[in-house]
């Protein structure tokens, strides 16, 4: 079982609030990813990182930002939450030499 953690698991928050979704992995993986998943839809890549101080935007336009100050930690921040941000957010990681991605349990965000 992959050691990748996300907190909180569930979050209900009001419009306009700033939120940070946490993701940590203990596997020493260089690559980390954030995906957004809506019911019945494919996962959409919103951010990724190859390593410390490396961050890139993914395919899906997102108003969120990420940082990668430590290898094991890849938080995602929404400066001002909106109802359109309501979704499940999945964090994943993989080793540079491997193709398989390992996922965390997800954070289900509801913005009211």
Angstrom distance (rounded) from CA 77 to CA 24:
14
Give min distance, CB of 14 to another protein, in A: 23
**Contact 82/50 with Cβ under 8 angstroms?**
no
Identify which range of 12-20, 36-44, 60-68, 69-77 contacts another protein by CB under 8 A: 36-44
Out of 16, 26, 50, 83, the residue judged to bind another protein by CB under 8 A: 50
What number of chain residues touch another protein (CB under 8 A)?
23
Q: In this structure, is the dihedral angle defined by the CA atoms of residues 104, 59, 47 and 21, taken in order, positive or negative?
A: negative
Interface residues for another protein in 76-105 (CB under 8 A)?
90, 92, 94, 99-105
User: Where does this chain bind another protein (CB under 8 A)?
Assistant: 2, 6, 31, 40-43, 45, 48, 50, 58, 90, 92, 94, 99-106, 108
């Amino acid at each position: 079982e992959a050691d990748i953690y996300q907190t909180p698991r569930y979050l209900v928050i009001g419009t306009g609030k700033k939120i940070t979704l946490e993701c940590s992995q203990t596997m020493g993986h260089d690559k980390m990813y954030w995906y957004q998943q809506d019911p019945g839809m494919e996962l959409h890549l919103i951010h990724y990182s190859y390593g410390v101080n490396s961050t890139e935007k993914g395919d899906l336009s997102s108003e969120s930002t990420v940082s990668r100050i430590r290898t094991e930690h890849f938080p995602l921040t929404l400066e001002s939450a909106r109802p359109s941000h309501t979704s499940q957010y999945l964090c994943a990681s993989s080793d540079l030499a491997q193709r398989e991605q390992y996922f965390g349990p997800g954070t289900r965000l509801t913005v009211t």
